[in-house]
A and B are shown apart, each in its own frame.
Chain A
């Protein structure tokens, strides 16, 4: 007598067999005590695993750690030591970025006035987030990746540079939050969409600049 294979046995307890194959296993087990026992043992293990608690309470300190991380504008611990050159370069980069962003937003505002806007009434409630999420989906992972890369190279940045980058990111984050909330209230506004995009671009550029400094060092 050919016993059922391990693959058949696992597929049987997982309910992955066709009706015919399943019936064949059942018929075999009716005549073979050894295979019937194998099915029972594996089925019992599956059941025990399925009954394990799906939730295990984490230690309370985790929540506090998460809050602390969310409160931190940028997770770059300060390194001892000063680099005037880096500080000066970062400041110039930030000023240039601010100007570029202003130009970008002003240009988009002109375009918005010149072109007809979408109808602002009757925007479905759930669709309101779409305007925001479409923009954010393009930036969030890139920002996240840069932040992680920066975290890994944090020791290479001087404290003044870190402070400058952090304070500018704070300003940008506030601007992004304002643009985001405004866009949620008025999802058809091209000006607000451009402002949100500009905010994210600016954040990306600041992070890229800071990252570039760590690479050059």
Chain B
């Protein structure tokens, strides 16, 4: 346990050094930050979007935004948490904009999507975990990914998605219920 903690501290210190260099305009340091953190950023984007091309675009945008805003990072939180938040916001902002556009033409909501997914969900009776996450309606998927995989609280997710913590909780329960139904079919 102690070994793991000191390894974690060393990793945080190494990232801190890279962040300070990058804040002074050192692009190589920023490249090293990318190498250390891109996997986690891409993972959360991919799971939130359920779309590989969109996830690649959001990962790019998140790092470009991070570079531009690096001067505002004061080290009050971990750099990885700060960067993660940027990536999640990129996805959610895009989803809100896309949602507004789609709402005008097809009035899709989670119920419609859910029943559509349910029809195609599991022709062979079993589906894997990642596929089940990708099939969740967007609101439920965001709640599940951010809470059960990324470890955000209901309130933090509510702040990010612009809904009440109680709504996040309801979406999370619904997501779990759907996951269980699909995985155990």
Residues on A lying within 8 angstroms of B by beta carbon are 6-7, 10, 41-42, 45-46, 48-50, 52-59, 61-63, 65-67, 69-70, 126, 129-130, 132-133, 136-137, 140-141, 143-144, 177, 180-181, 184
A62 to B62 alpha-carbon distance, docked (Å) = 11
Q: Is the CB of B180 within 8 A of A63?
A: no
Contacts A65-B60, A66-B60, A66-B64 given: A136-B43 contact, CB under 8 Å? no
Q: Is the CB of A129 within 8 A of B173?
A: no
Q: Is the CB of B72 within 8 A of A58?
A: no
Q: Is the CB of A137 within 8 A of B72?
A: yes
Q: Is the CB of A62 within 8 A of B56?
A: yes
Residues on A with beta carbons closer than 8 Å to the beta carbon of B43: 53-56
Contacts A48-B129, A55-B39, A58-B56 given: A136-B27 contact, CB under 8 Å? no
Q: Is the CB of B34 within 8 A of A129?
A: no
Residues on B lying within 8 angstroms of A by beta carbon are 20, 23-25, 27, 30-31, 34, 38-43, 46, 56, 59-60, 63-65, 67-69, 71-75, 129-130, 144, 148-150, 169, 172-173, 176-177, 179-180, 183-184
For the complex formed, measure the closest distance between the CB of A199 and the CB atoms of chain B, giving whole angstroms. 12
Residues on B with beta carbons closer than 8 Å to the beta carbon of A184: 24
Residues on A with beta carbons closer than 8 Å to the beta carbon of B172: 10
A45 to B184 alpha-carbon distance, docked (Å) = 10
Q: Is the CB of B59 within 8 A of A140?
A: no
Q: Is the CB of A62 within 8 A of B71?
A: no
Closest B residue, CB atoms, query A56: B43
Residues on A with beta carbons closer than 8 Å to the beta carbon of B71: 129, 132-133, 136-137, 140, 180
A182 to B111 alpha-carbon distance, docked (Å) = 57
Q: Which of A48, A62, A70 contacts B42 (CB 8 A)?
A: A62
A215 to B110 alpha-carbon distance, docked (Å) = 36
Q: Is the CB of A45 within 8 A of B38?
A: no
For the complex formed, measure the closest distance between the CB of A12 and the CB atoms of chain B, giving whole angstroms. 12
Main secondary structure of the interface of B (DSSP, over half): helix
Main secondary structure of the interface of A (DSSP, over half): helix
Residues on B with beta carbons closer than 8 Å to the beta carbon of A63: 31, 34, 38
10 closest A-B pairs by CB = A55-B39, A58-B42, A136-B71, A56-B43, A49-B148, A137-B72, A66-B63, A69-B64, A55-B40, A10-B173
Contacts A49-B149, A52-B130, A133-B74 given: A144-B68 contact, CB under 8 Å? yes
A56 to B23 alpha-carbon distance, docked (Å) = 26
What are 27 A-B residue pairs whose CB atoms fall within 8 Å in the complex?
A: A7-B173, A10-B169, A10-B173, A41-B184, A45-B180, A45-B183, A48-B129, A49-B149, A50-B148, A54-B43, A54-B149, A55-B43, A56-B43, A57-B39, A58-B38, A58-B59, A62-B38, A66-B34, A66-B63, A70-B27, A70-B64, A129-B74, A132-B71, A136-B71, A144-B65, A144-B69, A181-B24
Residues on A with beta carbons closer than 8 Å to the beta carbon of B65: 144
**Contacts A55-B40, A66-B60, A129-B71 known; 18 new A-B pairs at CB < 8 A:** A6-B173, A6-B177, A10-B169, A41-B180, A45-B180, A48-B129, A49-B149, A50-B148, A50-B149, A54-B39, A62-B38, A62-B59, A66-B64, A129-B74, A130-B74, A133-B72, A140-B72, A141-B69
Residues on B with beta carbons closer than 8 Å to the beta carbon of A6: 173, 177
A129 to B177 alpha-carbon distance, docked (Å) = 48
Q: Is the CB of A126 within 8 A of B75?
A: yes
